[in-house]
Structure 1
Amino acid sequence: MISATGLELRAGSRILLSDATLRVQPGDRVGLVGRNGAGKTTTLKVLAGEGQPHAGDVTRRGELGYLPQDPREGDLSVTAQDRVLSARGLDKMLRDMEKAQTAMAELVDEKERDKAINRYGKLEERFGARGGYAAESEAGRICSNLGLPGRVLTQPLSTLSGGQRRRVELARILFAASEAGPGGRSATTLLLDEPTNHLDADSISWLRDFLKNHDGGLVVISHDIDLLSAVVNKVWFLDAVRGEADVYNMDWTRYQDARAADEKRRRRERANAEKKASALMTQADKMRAKATKAVAAQNMAKRAEKLLASAEQEQAKDKVAKIRFPEPAACGKTPLTADGLSKSYGSLEIFSGVDLAVDRGSKVVVLGLNGAGKTTLLRLLGGQEDADSGGVVPGHGLRVGYFAQEHETLDHDATVWENVRAAAPDSPEQQLRNLLGTFLFQGEQLKQPAGTLSGGEKTRLALAGLVSSQANVLLLDEPTNNLDPASREQVLDALRNFAGAVVLVTHDPGAVEALEPERVILLPDGTEDHWSAEYLDLVQLA
């Protein structure tokens, strides 16, 4: 259970939320919604205890499972399976049991061997009390449903892609939450920030069913309307204009009707207040002409101002970033070529012998199952990593723009302004400020550290950096993740109209349709083919 009272959240000097009261009880499945930058991620982080509010108190009871947008740093040497099992402490028990088994087999001294046998018995008893081998099998089923097969579970986290590591964290959280507490109910409150990122269609469907049947608490941030419709029974709407949280104790369908009615009511109240205030001001102006009525006129004008102030501000139309990629810098016929690229992590081969020629203005989509090396290929092409064999050959005038799905190309300690300035050091200052304004960054927000931005805001900032660079080859890794529907449409429209070359990795069929690719690269084999609509079914499975 989580209870927050008098909650005030800020991003720099900007108030995100003021004097809010939020509660999550067992059985509450809350959809946390609002436009990009409204404070959803900040709110979830504070509720999880990983951020501090500017004011107010947060109390927590029971277990918490928190999935942040950005991947957590941790011990990457452990296997994926051990990371999931660690949610119930089973990983350490298994290792201790293995050590005891070894000692039982190797010890010659009878007394020492008896001690090892006794120790193993106690460990096995504790292991059984926590669900034992059945729990281990349960963890495997959860992982499989999230697109993590057995071969992946045996690998160290360091060998996995960012998307795979995030799914391991999600599996760990769900495995902990599936352990029954007192009364057979889950004692875990889940706080999930965009949990469907990096999941294929089957995994998303399974996750919807899991969350719908979760009897603990849940707060979820998601742009997946199907998930919200199927799962939530309560909605918190963060109003970025008013800096308030509107709580709706109803499911998603009824919330949409109630929200529309609220916005209509606010517009009507504002219009009536403005009409009355206008009439009062007109009367006050007439009365000012007479000295004997000057005080009365002044009082009437004050009443008009109060009337306007007391009426709730009309909900401003959500601004949308006007994303447009400029004319790319001139380049040769084939600005980027890859020859025989191979990459392995330890003994795990990701792919080998991949060839690729990116012609001027060409559009290529990269498909493959999770873990097939799609992100790795983009990192090699963008110079973020070196290939084990083969090479990337830049053509005449090549200017690469790389968009990373985890936003690692951003300097999270630097401000919004410093990040864009670094991307285009030779551009005039006012030109960059104007550019940032079209991406909805202005005023005090230019001084905000990039690491404090929401996922959608980081996406917009990274795209602003690409626009400022005048790149002629864009390497885009899941560019529509974390975006609200309006911002997503702007990104897709920019893709449609970009004159340069694009190599795209995505689970979003709409992004592929907007790109209108000519070619497809299938990993890990590196097979190249002409694009056809038949491949569209593979996008969400990739």
Structure 2
Amino acid sequence: MIKVRNLSFGFGRKTLFDQTEFSVGENQKVGLVGPNGVGKTTLLTLLSQKEFPTEGEIEVIGSIGFVPQEVKADRELEQAKNVRNYLNQDGLKMDFELKKMLANLELGNLDLESSPKVLSGGQKTKLALCRALLLEPDLLLLDEPTNFMDIEGKKWVMEFLGHYDKTVILISHDLDLIDSSINRVLYINQQTKKIEEYKGNYSKFLKLKKEKEDLFKRHLMIEQKRVKKMEEGVIRLFANTSKKGVRQRVILKRRLDRLKQKLPEIPPEVKKIRLFLPEPLVIGEIPIKAVEISKAFGSLRVFKDLNFLIVRGERIALLGPNGSGKSTLIKILNGIIKPDKGQVICDKNLSIGYYSQEFETFDPNKNLLETFVEECQMPDNQARSFLGRFNFMGDKVFQKVATLSGGEKTRLSIALVTGKNHNLLILDEPTTYLDVMSQRIILDALKEYKGTMIVVSHTEEFIKELNPDKAFLMPEGQMDFWSEELLGRVAEV
């Protein structure tokens, strides 16, 4: 099905894969795992033949379906006349088949005549998944397919993949999904730039990997003891100034140098994001007020005559299913798009830090350092130090934004948000591409933030611990005081 031989690939000075090889057989369900930025999404892009290796060859037999992590990367979706054309390009499916699949992926209310361009990020992701599943390709490549789904949607995807009789390669931070859906793991080793193969599901992989790491540590400890003993021997021989003593010292020193060269490299600990939110700039009692705002895209009305105000220091959870207008409202408050009617009144000292789930404010042709310096107006040396807090070290800051993984773009976006003294943070799904530990670190920092905050998240635990003061409910357009009874609205998608 898939044969990869002597694969090498990288971006600029960063090498992702170095002379690695692996194979995947027919009907195998494979989980692709590794830290953020190690090359998981890049490997799927190479397998889908949207990129080509620097060296080596990739052989794929059969048709390929690829659902990318970032829906904006799906050119066919953006160019499609309507939902029907996008889902049914070969014209072989009946409308009832399309609607059934849409309903399974929580898009049952979607009009087949509507344009995909006006959909939210979550809806676009589901639509791309829907199209791939309808095509039933021989090789299905899925990059975080359930990010925007509730429990029922995730269960349906698990069941579908369990019965899918063709090959699947899956990237997911959803441990339940990846554990129940795969029978093999491909692990990208960040140190060796090789791809390691493990049989079994994700839980078995973790067990085997731990056993391998424990064996490595024991071997390393034995070798380090040998080195220490030889070093002590060299020191003792320095006291012996006879010709024989000098000769023994030289021989032992050579053996010591050879042994040190053979010592395995200690894998660096994965650095966690240390998120520091600065004191917010002074602002008035009402940072932002919306008066009779309305917005529509063609015949699709998103909301009408919204009125609300936000008080300084409030934490507001913006809740509602995908497509209810949350992202549109956020973009209006942030000045990215204008309302069709009404106005948004802002305090003269308002400074907004905006995190977008789709990263649409990034210039893909700029590198990390250029992006950060331009946005935060810092000297290069100070900017590099700041980016280092987010594990962007050394030459990494010169990497093009377009080549970053979803997790790396999340880290960069949060770095940009925290690089200035903003007094209003607007965060649209800030934890989507992050692992559990990074989510925890971000949450702890946000809980200490003294400014005003608007947060969109479908993660109940995240919203519960953030403990917002109010909830703005969509599509109702209603502001309510927060209570845990509203937690059920968090998971609505």
TM-score, normalised by the number of residues in structure 1:
0.86
- Is the partner of 2:417 in helix, strand or coil? helix
Structure 2 counterparts to residues 93-172 of structure 1, below 5 A: 130=92, 133=94, 136-172=95-131
Distance 1:39 1:295 in 2: 50
Distance verdict in 2 for CA 1:153–1:308, change over 3 Å = farther
Paired letter, 1:175: L
Residues 277 and 305, structure 1, Cα contact 8 Å, conserved in 2: no
Instruction: Assess, with a 3 A threshold, how the Cα gap between structure 1 residues 527 and 240 changes in structure 2: closer, same or farther.
Output: same
**CA shift in 2, pair 1:396/1:238, >3 Å:** same
CA deviation digits over 1:484-527, x for unaligned, max 9? 22222111112211111111111112321232111111112201
How big is the shift at 1:356?
A: 2.5
Match of 1:481 in 2: 432
Q: 2:264 and 2:145 mapped to 1: Cα distance?
A: 34
2: CA distance, partners of 1:290 / 1:411: 69
- Give deviations 1:332-385, integer Å, cap 9, x for gaps: 111111112211000110111122312211111111121101110101111110
More off after superposition, 6-15 vs 432-441: 6-15
CA gap of 1:77–1:58, structure 2 versus 1, over 3 A, is closer
Matched, 1:224 2:174: yes
Residues 1:418 and 1:267: Cα distance change in structure 2 (over 3 Å): same
Residue deviations 1:425-447 (CA, integer Å, cap 9, x gap): 2x344332221010111210111
Q: Tell me the CA shift for residue 214 of structure 1.
A: 1.5
Counterpart position of 2:2: 2
Q: Which is higher, the Rg of structure 1 or of structure 2?
A: 1
Separation (CA, whole Å) in 1 of partners of 2:272 and 2:29? 29
1:267–1:314: 8 Å Cα contact kept in structure 2? no
Shift of 1:200: 2.2
Q: Specify whether residues 298 and 172 from structure 1 end up closer, same or farther in structure 2 by C-alpha distance, changes over 3 A only.
A: farther
CA contact (8 A) 1:9 1:43 kept: no
Aligned-pair distance for 1:32? Answer: 1.0
Question: What stretches of structure 1 of length at least 5 have no aligned partner?
Answer: 91-129, 178-186
Please report how far the alpha carbon of residue 159 of structure 1 lies from its aligned counterpart in structure 2 after TM superposition. Answer: 2.1
Mapped to 1, the partners of 2:258 and 2:16 lie a distance apart of 24
**Residue correspondence of structure 1 range 94-493 to structure 2 within 5 A:** 130=92, 133=94, 136-177=95-136, 188-287=138-237, 289-292=241-244, 294=246, 297-425=249-377, 427-493=378-444
Contact 2:369/2:380 (8 A) holds in 1: no
**Residues 368-412 of structure 1 deviation map (CA, whole Å, 9 limit, x = unaligned):** 121101110101111110111111111131001111111111111
Q: Aligned pair in 2 of structure 1 residues 283, 488: CA closer, same or farther (>3 Å)?
A: same
* Amino acid paired to 2:368: V
Q: Which whole-Å CA distance do the structure 2 matches of 1:305 and 1:224 have between them?
A: 46
Task: Give every structure 1 segment of 4 or more consecutive aligned residues whose post-TM-superposition deviation is greater than 6 Å.
Answer: none
- Alpha-carbon distance change, 393 to 52 in structure 1, aligned in 2, over 3 angstroms: same
In the alignment, the residues of structure 1 paired with residue 50 and residue 125 of structure 2 have an alpha-carbon distance, to the nearest angstrom, of 18
1:260 Cα shift?
Answer: 1.2
Cα distance change, pair 300–51 in 1 and its aligned pair in 2 (3 A)? farther
Identity %: 31
Q: The residue matched to 2:256 in structure 1 has which SS?
A: helix
Q: CA RMSD in A?
A: 1.8
Instruction: Tell me, yes or no, if the aligned pair for 1:354 and 1:525 is still in contact at 8 Å.
Output: no
User: Retained in 1: the 8 A contact 2:80–2:86?
Assistant: no
Structure 2 residues not aligned, in runs of 5+: none
Structure 1 CA distance for aligned equivalents of residues 338 and 211 of structure 2: 56
SS where residue 343 of structure 1 aligns? strand
Q: State the partner residue of 1:85.
A: 88
Q: Is the 8 A contact 2:66 2:140 kept in 1?
A: yes
* Distance apart, 1:306 and its partner CA: 3.5
TM-superposed CA distance for 1:451, in Å, is 0.8
What is the number of equivalent residue pairs in this alignment? Answer: 488
Normalising to structure 2: TM-score of the pair? 0.94
- 1:501 is matched with 452
Counterpart of 2:46 in structure 1 is 46
Which one-letter code corresponds to 2:87 in the other structure?
V
Distance of 2:341 and 2:17 partners within structure 1: 52
Q: Which has the higher helix share?
A: 1
For 2:255 and 2:479, how far apart are their aligned partners in 1? 72
Match of 1:539 among 480, 485, 490: 490
Shift of 1:308: 3.6
Partner SS state of residue 75, structure 2: coil
Per the alignment, in what secondary structure is the counterpart of residue 413 of structure 1? coil
- Cα drift, residue 330 of structure 1: 1.3
Cα-to-partner distance string for 1:17-58 (whole Å, 9 max, x where unaligned): 322212222221111111111221112211221222232211
